Each structure stands twice: as C-alpha cells, then as structure tokens.
Homo-oligomer: A and B are copies of this chain.
Amino acid sequence: MNSFDLNAYLSSKRQQINAALDSMFLHTSRKLVKAMKHSLMAGGKRLRPILCLAAAETVGGNSQDAIQASCAIEMIHTYSLIHDDLPAMDDDELRRGQPTCHAIFDEATAILAGDALLTMAFEVLSLMDSSREGQAMDLIHVVHTLAVAAGYQGMIEGQMQDIAAEGESLSLKDLEKMHALKTGSLIEASVTTGAILGRGTAFQVQQLNIYAKNIGLAFQVTDDILNIEGDPMIMGKNVGSDQIRLKSTYPSVLGMDQSKQFAKKLVSNALKALENFDTKAHSLRAIANYIIDRKK
C-alpha cells in the first residue's frame, strides 16, 4: 500500500513508551510496585499508546507532546487487564505470556496494583509541562476524555455487560454495543487524546474519531477470530476460552467468513476517514491494516 515500515515504527514507539513507563517509577523493592511493574512491563503490544502518539503526529504535533498521556493510557489498559483476570471475573492465569498478577502475587495485591495503576495514570497526566501555553486546559480536556472513556459509561460498563452476557446469546447489536464500551471507548480516547495534545483542528479530531471507532471494532472482531484460530504460542495466552465460557463472539454470531469480511470492511472505513490527511497519517493507515493481519 505504501512503503511505510510499520514494524520499525511500532518497535521504535514501543521502545519510547517502555522507556518512559519504566522511568516513572521510584526504584523500590516494594511488593506493590513490583506487582504494578510485573503487569505493566510484561511486553504488551502497546497498541493504545502507539495510537495516541501516532494521532499526535498525524495532526502535525510531536510524539513527545503525548508521551505522558500515552503512558497513562497503557496504565489504564493494564489495570483493566489485571482486574478482568481476577478469580471473581475471568479467572485467567496467563496474560501476555506471563502468569497474571494475582497468580504470581495474590488477589489482594492484584486488586491494589490495578487500583494503583489507574490512579497513577492521572498522576502522570497531571505532571506534564505546564509552561506550554494552553497546556493546562488541554490536560483537563484529556483527563476528562480518559476518565469518561474508562469509566462507568465506558470501559467498566462494557466489562459489566461482558460478564452479564456469559452463557447468553447476544444479538449483533448488543455484541457491538458491549465491545464499543469495553474495548472501543479506550481505543477511541487514545486517538482523541493524541489528536488534542498534538493540537489538531476540530475537523481532524472528528475524522480521527471515525477512524478510531472503526479500528476499535475491527480490533475486537479480530480478537474473537484469534481466540478460535490463533496460535497460543504466538499469542502468549490460551485460545478457545470464549467457547468454553459460551461467550457470544463475532464468529459465533456472524460465522467465521462473515466476521473476516466485516473486519476488512471496518478497516476500509477507517482508511476512508484518513483520506484528507497527508503522509503524516501513514502510521495510522498501516496500523489499521495491522489490526486485522496480526497474529496476536
């Protein structure tokens, strides 16, 4: 499609994000910090923070403008994984190829490590360079965007609906609604946040929102496909768990072929929303394709 080297881009951004994340912690041997870092530094894809940085660049900003917000987003994402994996929820022992937080520490520590990562996200957000004009207003806007996306009208309600849906047969509409909340809202906020901190125009932010809605859903459809067809060695987590839990998924509602078609259609919508952007949007374009081609 273009000569953009996505692997090099992802790898360089991952390094930038990992270095920033690592630098944010005090050096300490405290159990709480160990548990937080165990899950945070376990080698995730960093999709959400990379989207945040790429969005900042796409609207003409600098990835450094959004690095702390991107770290905050990864902290929010990681806390949600730690809590979702708890025995009272999905009861998963393996995540990102590592034992889950409660499996390696204990349940109380995992709950508190999740709480601490969520809280630290807002600490990190509120530490940005306030000498930049208009920065405080942008930051309040970003705090608000992330809190709404991650909160009781966003990601957490999505997790509630996901739990309630176990063993139920969801309609396509309810399945989409659940995923838009559970996965979509934080992906959307990652892109929006990057666009705000990169000082995008209202039109740019709006187009990137359409992009984000589409890739967010495409991401979930692909996750459902990988849960059936994926290689557990590559994925670093167990497959087939959706079927065991009788979860409604895109393949179970639409069938496998239709699900793959649907994911492609969503990516094509996402690319269309980027039509008015120049070559600075190459990273977002390549990420859209990557989302349905990935193996983990």
Output the nearest chain B residue to A134 by Cβ-Cβ distance. B136
Complex: how many Å from CA A108 to CA B166?
Answer: 13
Output the nearest chain B residue to A164 by Cβ-Cβ distance. B31
User: How many monomers of this protein are in the complex?
Assistant: 2
Q: How many residues of A contact B (CB 8 A)?
A: 49
- Contact A147 B163, beta carbon cutoff 8 Å: no
Complex: how many Å from CA A141 to CA B125?
Answer: 11
Complex: how many Å from CA A32 to CA B111?
Answer: 18
Complex: how many Å from CA A79 to CA B147?
Answer: 15
One digit per residue, 1 when the CB lies within 8 angstroms of any chain B CB and 0 when it does not, for chain A 139-176 equals 11101101110111100110110011000000000000
Report A163-222 residues with CB < 8 Å from chain B CB.
Answer: 163-164
One digit per residue, 1 when the CB lies within 8 angstroms of any chain B CB and 0 when it does not, for chain A 85-120 equals 010110000000000000000111101101110111
Output the nearest chain B residue to A124 by Cβ-Cβ distance. B147
User: Which 10 pairs show the lowest CB-CB distances between chains A and B?
Assistant: A123-B147, A88-B107, A136-B136, A126-B144, A119-B151, A116-B152, A126-B143, A122-B147, A136-B137, A88-B108
